[in-house]
Structure formats: structure tokens, C-alpha cells
């Protein structure tokens, strides 16, 4: 069977194998890699129903990657193992009239683990296939979740070093400790005096610094990226949409072939795009609701066809969705309108911060929830079912309710649950009762344990007493020097 090849979203003559695309991360012209043709699932429903998560992952990933069976199985078996605290890897649970797809059972308690547990193995295999000899250096700027998930994924992987830059004063207490207590000799964590944008811009400048790249190459290093535009992050996310559907059939919520809707709390548009890919592969999914918080660029886009990032940036209780440029939307634009239109749209985004596109895909629509609606959703779901959601999941819940009311659909709905409530304990507890607003984030974890009946997850249990291993702080203008200092 022919393995998928990849083309650019701004120029269809830019092509790459999966291995090349994973190592490069982004096209030379700044576009993203998309599959030239989205492959079709070649297993029957009966076969799929009999698989565990790893077997299913193999059947999906083999269609997208130019790896041997042995290589791919090695990657999958080392990624989805005891690092996850449930044997199922991704439980689908029913509470009230919603199904929750819990993607937060990995080591960092957020859905980023689904892709970042396997990306290091995909990268190493890709490097081997491409005959790349240099040691890989992953540079990551993070606003909280990606940094820790990447650290966990790459820590202790030989032939790879990883550096993470986070805004010293811009992450939650749990997020900060998760990063600064990171073990592994190949890891380096640096707080920067600046915000996420400063960190991100500095890292991007380093990626395009030819002189530095040459210097590093002489020493046997090459930079790579673990951010969500890498197809090595996108493709593993397709698996859990199949998984959710299969579990819903097993639970008797649907029969195979009946529609199952998904609501996805969205930031960079990577998670929901993976669901859309699953549908293109033949999964009988129904509708996809793209849920935004107050930063509702995507909601406006799906309503009007106008994408406009010229607006105030809101800091919300769902920080991983605080984003005004959803990079992976470029892929959907290209699948809908082709490379020429996409190129023009991205040029307009660069020049004016806005573009207009024709939306030909009816399977996705937008909804949003403001802060009050998010808090209200956490409170109501707890009151009615005893289930405690995190803030991102709550945005999705509120959005799903709105979609149901507007469309009148009776389809079962999966709420894609992207983080453990323990990661955002303070906001979750405050949503449940105002009196917690003054509490200590770590004390509140015990309280959350009491009221939810879900034990504090092992990866963050006692985190406040762990040894801080990374105390580096650096000025935002000194990041490049810091990188050189660590590597050279
Ligand atoms: C990253 C993240 C999201 C957004 O996912 P995208 O793929 O960027 O749309 C939502 N929730 C949580 C908890 C996240 O960490």
C-alpha cells in the first residue's frame, strides 16, 4: 500500500516523506505539511472493535508514516505504556447526558501527552531513516502545558537534548513546579523575564539564525521543534477519535455507522483537526464543535468566514486556549480551498492580521463560553453528577450545550477533556465555591480530592516539596546566548 506523502499548504510542489516532514517541522516557505491524500482506514469495524489502544494506534499511524512495522510498533509500545495511569490509556466516561473523553491520564495531566509521549520516538526513527547524524536539540517556548509534556517526552531519550523557556511570572504554580522539578540530564528549563510571546519570538529567531545553526552543526547538533504544527504531533491525535467512537459503540451509546458528535476545547486547532482527519478517513463521526473561550477568533471565523486577530487578548481561566493565531487552521483552509487561496490568506494574516475565506466544510462549527459560563458549567456538572471538570473541558461543555440547543440534535456528544482538574485546582475550586478563592493552590488539592473522590494524581502528589532542579532565569534578549552557553 502506498504510504502518505506530504505537501505544503502554500505550495503543492513542496513535498516530503513523513520522516522529512517530522524532522523539518515546517515547510521551507513557512507553510505546513498536509497529507497529499488523506488515507482511508483499511480495517473493518469488527476488527477495530477488538483492538486495544496500541493496536489501534498502529492501524492509524501506519497509514501516515513511512516506518517499518517493527519501527512503528517500537514507538507505540514505548509511548503508551505505564506512563499512563489507566490500562485503557484514554477512558470514555458517561456522566449525565455527556460522554467525556479523558485525555489527561499521561504524566503531565494534559492532552499534550497523547502526542508528546510518542513524538520523541517518531523523531528518532525519522532521523535514523534520513541518516541524520546530528544530535537533536528541541527548543520549546511554552505557556505551561506543552513545555512539561515535551520535557517528560524527551527526558532521558538519548541522542536528544531539550530546552524549555517559560514566562517566569506567567504560569500556574503547579505548572511552574512541574517544569522546575524536571529530572533528566538532557533537560534544561529556563524562566524568562518576559511573557510567552517574548519566549516564542526569541525561539523563532534562533530557528532562523543561520550562523548559529552552522556553528551548532559543527558541534554535531541540529535544532528541531516539538510544537503542534509538526505532523508528528497531529497524526497521533487521530487515534483517540477512533478510540472514542469504538468505546461509545461498546457502551451501547451508538451502533456502528451512527453519528457521534465531538466538542473540542480549541487553541491552536490541532486537536479538532485530528478529529476532522479521522472523519475523512471514514470514521462515521457526526458534527465537530470548535469551542473557544473569550478569545473567540475561531467562533467568529466559523460564523462569518472572516478571521481577524486584531482584537484584545484576554487572559482567561483556560490559558491553554488563550491564542489569537490558531496555526493549524491553515491546514483546514488548504483542504477546503487549495494552496493558492491559502497562500493569499496567510499573506493577508501576516500583513493585516486578517483574511476572509470561503468555508465549504459544514461538519465543523464554532461556539464559545465566557468566564462566567465556564465557572457555571463546572458548578452545574458537579452538582448534577459529582464529576469535576477542568476549566478547558468546561468551556467545551458549555459550548456543547449551546450547540445542542441551537441545532436540536439528539446525537450523543463527546466532550473532549483536555486536562485534569488538578492542574487548575484553584480556578476549579473557586468555580465550585467562592470561598476557595483565597485558598492555597496546594492545600486545595486535598480539598478537591475529598469532594471529587478522585485521588491526587501521582505525578503531582507532593510536588510542592520536591527538589527544584532548574533555577535558571534569563533576560528575554539573552535567550540565544543561553542556548549557546548550554550546548557549546
Ligand atoms: C493545548 C490545549 C488545548 C488546545 O488544543 P489545540 O490543539 O491547541 O487546539 C486545550 N486544552 C488544554 C488543556 C491544552 O493543553
Measured in residues, the chain has a length of 488
Cα distances from 230 to residues 18, 32, 143, 235, in angstroms, run 10, 8, 18, 9
What pLDDT digit, counting tens, does each position of 49-83 carry?
999 999 999 999 999 999 999 999 999 999 999 99
Does the pLDDT at position 200 exceed 80?
no
The residue among 38, 84, 64 whose CA lies nearest residue 126 is 64
Q: What is the Cα–Cα distance from 57 to 81, expressed in whole angstroms?
A: 13
Place of cell 467545551: 396
Q: Given ligand 1 and candidates 112, 290, 320, which is best to mutate, with the most ligand atoms within 8 Å of its CB?
A: 320
Average pLDDT estimate for 414-426 = 95
Q: What is the pLDDT of residue 120?
A: 93
Q: Which residues line ligand 1 (CB under 6 A)?
A: 110-112, 145, 228, 265-271, 320-321, 392, 418-419
Residue 417, beta-bridge partner list: 102
101 beta partners: 92, 416
Other Cβ atoms within 10 Å of 135 Cβ, number:
17
Which letter does DSSP use for residue 405 in this model? Answer: H
The pLDDT value recorded for residue 348 is: 97
Q: How far is the CA of 402 from the centre of ligand 1 (A)?
A: 20
Rounded distance from Cα 400 to ligand 1 centre (Å) = 17
Q: Are 243 and 283 in contact (CB under 8 A)?
A: no
- Quickly state the pLDDT bin for 2 (edges 50, 70, 90): low
Report whether pLDDT(1) > 60.
no
Convert the pLDDT of each residue in 335-354 to its tens digit.
999 999 999 999 999 999 99
Q: pLDDT tens digit string along 209-220?
A: 888 888 888 999
pLDDT at 204 over 80: no
Mean per-residue pLDDT of the chain: 94
Instruction: Decide if 40 is catalytic.
Output: no
Ligand 1 centroid distance, CA of 257 (Å): 28
Gap between the Cα atoms of 89 and 346, Å rounded: 37
Query: 308 C-alpha vs ligand 1 centroid, how far in Å?
Result: 20
Burial of 438 per CB tally in 10 Å (0-12, 13-18, 19+): exposed
Give the span between the Cα atoms of 246 and 285, in whole angstroms.
11
DSSP letter at 247 equals H
**pLDDT given at position 198:** 78
Q: Atom 8, ligand 1: which residue's CA is nearest? A: 268
- Dihedral sign for Cα 416, 365, 293, 139, please: positive
Task: Give the active site residue among 62, 112, 148, 296.
Answer: 112
Which residue from 448, 470, 469 is spatially nearest to 457, judged by alpha carbons? 448
Gap between the Cα atoms of 354 and 173, Å rounded: 35
pLDDT digits (tens, 9 = 90+) for 427-469: 999 999 999 999 888 899 999 999 999 999 999 998 989 999 9
Write out the DSSP string of 418-467. -B-GGGGHHHHHHHH-GGGGGS-HHHHHHHHHHHH--PPPGGGTTGGGSP
- Which residue spans within 229-281 are E strands per DSSP? 261-265
- How many C-alpha atoms does 428 have within 13 Å on its Cβ side? 27
pLDDT band at 186; cut points 50, 70, 90: very high
Fold of 91-488: Rossmann fold (3.40.50)
Amino acid at each position: 500500500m502506498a504510504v502518505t506523502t506530504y505537501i505544503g499548504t502554500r505550495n503543492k510542489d513542496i513535498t516530503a516523506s513523513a520522516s522529512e516532514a517530522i524532522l523539518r517541522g515546517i515547510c521551507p516557505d513557512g507553510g505546513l505539511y498536509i497529507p497529499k491524500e488523506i488515507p482511508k482506514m483499511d480495517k473493518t469495524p469488527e476488527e477495530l472493535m477488538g483492538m486495544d489502544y496500541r493496536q489501534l494506534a498502529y492501524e492509524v499511524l501506519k497509514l501516515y508514516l513511512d516506518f517499518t512495522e517493527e519501527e512503528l510498533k517500537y514507538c507505540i509500545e514505548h509511548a503508551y505504556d505505564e506512563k499512563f495511569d489507566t490500562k485503557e490509556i484514554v477512558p470514555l466516561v458517561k456522566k449525565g447526558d455527556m460522554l467525556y473523553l479523558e485525555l489527561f491520564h499521561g504524566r503531565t495531566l494534559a492532552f499534550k501527552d497523547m502526542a508528546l509521549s510518542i513524538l520523541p520516538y517518531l523523531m528518532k526513527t525519522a532521523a535514523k531513516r534520513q541518516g541524520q547524524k546530528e544530535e537533536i536539540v528541541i527548543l520549546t517556548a511554552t505557556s505551561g502545558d506543552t513545555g512539561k509534556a515535551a520535557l517528560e517526552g524527551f527526558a532521558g531519550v538519548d541522542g536528544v537534548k531539550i530546552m524549555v523557556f517559560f514566562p517566569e511570572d506567567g504560569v500556574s504554580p503547579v505548572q511552574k513546579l512541574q517544569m522546575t522539578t524536571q529530572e533528566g540530564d538532557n533537560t534544561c528549563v529556563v524562566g524568562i523575564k518576559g511573557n510567552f510571546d517574548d519566549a516564542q519570538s526569541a525561539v523563532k529567531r534562533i530557528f532562523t539564525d543561520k550562523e548559529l545553526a552552522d556553528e551548532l552543526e559543527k558541534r554535531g547538533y541540529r535544532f528541531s521543534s516539538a510544537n503542534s504544527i509538526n505532523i508528528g504531533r497531529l497524526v497521533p491525535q487521530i487515534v483517540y477519535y477512533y478510540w472514542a467512537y469504538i468505546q461509545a459503540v461498546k457502551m451501547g451509546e451508538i451502533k456502528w455507522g451512527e453519528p457521534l458528535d465531538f466538542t473540542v476545547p480549541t487553541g491552536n486547532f490541532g486537536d479538532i483537526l485530528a478529529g476532522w482527519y479521522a472523519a475523512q478517513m471514514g470514521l462515521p463521526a457526526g458534527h465537530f464543535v470548535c469551542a473557544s473561550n473569550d478569545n473567540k477568533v475561531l467562533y467568529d471565523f466559523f460564523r462569518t468566514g472572516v478571521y481577524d486577530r486584531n482584537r484584545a487578548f484576554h487572559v482567561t481561566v483556560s490559558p491553554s486556549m488563550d491564542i489569537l493565531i490558531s496555526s493549524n487552521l491553515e491546514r483546514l483552509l488548504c483542504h477546503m480551498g487549495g494552496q493558492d487561496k491559502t497562500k493569499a490568506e496567510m499573506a493577508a494574516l501576516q500583513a493585516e492580521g486578517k483574511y476572509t475565506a470561503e468555508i465549504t466544510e459544514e461538519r465543523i462549527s464554532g461556539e464559545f463560553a465566557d468566564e462566567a459560563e465556564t465557572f457555571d458549567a463546572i458548578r452545574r456538572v458537579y452538582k448534577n453528577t459529582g464529576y469535576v471538570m477542568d476549566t478547558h473541558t468546561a468551556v467545551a461543555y458549555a459550548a456543547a450545550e449551546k450547540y445542542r440547543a441551537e441545532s436540536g440534535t439528539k446525537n450523543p456528544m463527546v466532550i473532549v477533556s483536555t486536562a485534569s482538574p488538578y492542574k487548575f485546582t484553584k480556578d476549579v475550586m473557586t468555580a465550585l465555591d467562592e470561598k476557595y478563592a483565597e485558598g492555597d493552590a496546594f492545600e486545595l488539592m486535598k480539598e478537591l480530592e475529598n469532594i471529587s473522590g478522585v485521588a491526587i494524581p501521582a505525578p503531582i502528589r507532593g510536588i510542592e516539596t520536591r527538589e527544584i532542579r532548574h533555577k535558571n532565569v534569563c533576560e528575554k534578549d539573552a535567550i540565544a546566548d543561553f542556548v549557546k552557553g548550554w550546548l557549546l
